[in-house]
Amino acid sequence: MRRHLPPLNALKAFDAAARHLSVTAAADELCVTQGAVSKQIRQLESALGVGLFERKPNGITLTEAGAQYLPFVSAALDSLDSATEQLQRGTRQRERLLLSVTPSFTSSWLISRIHAFEQQHPHLQVDLITGDGRPDFSGTEVDLAIRCLRPERAGQYHRLLLSERLLLVASPDLLACTPVQQPVDILQHRLLTQVTRPGMWDEFLHTLGLDGSPARHGAGFEHFFMSIKATEEQLGLGLVPDFLAQESINEGRLINPLGLSMMSGFAYYLFCPGYKVELLKVIQFRDWLAQELISAPL
């Protein structure tokens, strides 16, 4: 039997807009533009030959036809979603969770903890790729992204994980030769540069009242995990996020002389495309990550 059904995207747009009574909220949920949602709804109304919404200056409301149609559309979409999930569960031994994470977060913190997450959730296979800057989920299967950004660049679809606090760190062997007993002693050492944050040391020295003092800058590194390794190798003093340096400090490879630190103005965010926020695997990783970070800071 041939079925005469509207396009699936048009039904999804109608369902989201009707539930929220907002084209804007529907666009956020579906991770598309408001224009795309409006176009899909107009096409659906044209195909059905009836109006589904009344457009008013302060928003939209369902027509009588729209109110009658909504429960059937929602039930059909829920049924399709449930059937798809059952099919995928039955045909795959483990469900894939694809993460896009900044290199330093991956190397210095996440990799050593992934096994613990997989033990708690053996139905999930975690795959990691690296990325920087605001994530773009278009044309990708990425489920979640972790980025370090200034708050004004975070945009939409994010959750704050933690604000970044930078620690002054050094190898204990380096300090045994040239101690840091007061802030001015920092200037006796080479300061390892973060090439993506060229003004970081100037800001730190300013907080100590040492701006204008002669400083020797050492090698530059793109990522914090490189700076941590270089600091362990006694190439100079590092200025790195506290939770990324935690393992090295706990194992005695680095120390934080004078207990000095600085809030950087950056923060770590968890991003997720709007249409995936309610997936069980996303919720499980999000909750696990939040718990791990609570116990991680020094």
Q: What percent of the chain has pLDDT over 70?
A: 96
Residues 6+ apart with CB under 8 A from 296: 109, 243, 246
The pLDDT confidence band at residue 114, using thresholds 50, 70 and 90, is: very high
* Per-residue model confidence (pLDDT) at position 136: 87
* Span 210-231, pLDDT tens digits: 987 888 999 999 999 999 999 9
* Span 64-102, pLDDT tens digits: 999 999 999 988 888 888 887 777 665 556 799 999 999
* Per-residue model confidence (pLDDT) at position 91: 52
Considering the domain 8-91 in this protein, what is its CATH number?
1.10.10.10
Contact between residue 235 and residue 218 where contact means Cβ atoms under 8 Å apart:
yes
Contact between residue 97 and residue 126 where contact means Cβ atoms under 8 Å apart:
yes
The whole-number average pLDDT for the span 116-124 is 92
CA proximity to 145, closest of 94, 187, 98: 98
The SS3 assignment for 30 reads: helix
Half-sphere exposure of 2 (CA within 13 A, CB side): 1
Has residue 1 got a pLDDT over 80? no
Domains of the chain, by residue range, sit at 8-91, 95-162+267-295, 164-264
Range 114-117 contact pairs with CB under 8 angstroms and sequence separation of 24 or more: 117/285, 117/288
Q: Any idea which residue has 């001015």 for tokens? A: 184
* Span 221-277, pLDDT tens digits: 999 999 999 999 999 999 999 999 999 999 999 999 999 999 999 999 999 988 898
* Span 131-141, pLDDT tens digits: 998 898 888 89
* Per-residue model confidence (pLDDT) at position 131: 92
Q: What percent of the chain has pLDDT over 90?
A: 73
Residues 6+ apart with CB under 8 A from 120: 288
* Per-residue model confidence (pLDDT) at position 58: 85
Has residue 3 got a pLDDT over 80? no
Q: What is the rounded average pLDDT for all residues in the chain?
A: 90
Q: Which CATH superfamily is domain 164-264 in?
A: Periplasmic binding protein-like II (3.40.190.10)
Amino acid, res. 79: S
* Span 195-211, pLDDT tens digits: 999 899 999 999 999 98
Has residue 42 got a pLDDT over 60? yes
Could you name the CATH architecture of 95-162+267-295?
3-Layer(aba) Sandwich (3.40)
Does this chain's domain 95-162+267-295 share its CATH topology with 164-264? yes
Has residue 297 got a pLDDT over 60? no
* Per-residue model confidence (pLDDT) at position 203: 94
User: What gap in Å lies between CA 55 and CA 98, rounded to an integer?
Assistant: 40
User: What gap in Å lies between CA 254 and CA 229, rounded to an integer?
Assistant: 10
Contact between residue 120 and residue 288 where contact means Cβ atoms under 8 Å apart:
yes
* Span 148-172, pLDDT tens digits: 999 888 876 689 999 999 999 999 9
Half-sphere exposure of 279 (CA within 13 A, CB side): 20
* Per-residue model confidence (pLDDT) at position 257: 94
